[in-house]
Amino acid sequence: MRMGPKGLALLKTFEGWRGRAYQDSVGVWTIGYGHTSMAGPPTVKRGMTITKAEGERILKRDLKKYEQAVSDAVRVDLNQEQFDALVSFTYNVGPGNWRKSSVLRMVNAGRFDAVPARLMLWNKAGGKVLRGLTRRRAAEGELFSSGSKESKFAAAEIPDAPIGKSPTQSTTNIAAGLSAVAGVTAAGREIVDNTNTMMQAAPWIVVCIVIAGATWWIWRERNRKSREDGI
């Protein structure tokens, strides 16, 4: 497996480009995209200079070593983003530190969710926390996790929508919609029917009220006359 474009871009960003040899944070002579003598030829010395094209060739050659170191140590399947993040890490700390790291132990244990936190433990140089290394470990952890999220998403059981059907064409949705419409229609019809019934009964209700009132008035008048007549 070879490092992909995402990993290569991350590595180049954090290594930076130097056409003239310089000493890194712990005094190691470095040139190009973070090339040191420990990675292999050419040996980096004070005053050494290289062209950008030479730097690209050196990086390509160096990467093979670190890609192999990751491939040899990992016993589980990795996707491209996960592999890229681990190669970037190994390129920075060296194959020896990679092989004894808790990062590798978490990877081989299948505990991918724990890898970003383990990467963050490697943000020191000369016993001091460096801002640049902290940012790099965070970027590597994010790249590693982006691969994990994509894998989990792909494996998730998500029902597929019927091919060639819009939501309104789905048989289930149509049935549910028709049921809802039918329910509303029935309720509306019931209200209308009840209203019509009440309207039809209204005249009879008025007649009954009038009759009851008249009956009560006649009964009251008879009682009043009976009292007056002494009955």
The string of pLDDT tens digits covering residues 19-60 is 999 999 889 999 999 999 999 999 999 999 999 999 999 999
Does the annotation count 54 as an active-site position?
no
Q: Estimate to the nearest angstrom the gap between the alpha carbon of 99 and the chain centroid.
A: 31
pLDDT digits (tens, 9 = 90+) for 80-121: 999 999 999 999 999 999 999 999 999 999 999 999 999 999
Residue 42: name the closest of 26, 25, 27, 59 by CA: 59
Considering the candidates 15, 67, 81, 140, report the single residue annotated as catalytic.
15
Q: pTM of the predicted model, to two decimals?
A: 0.63
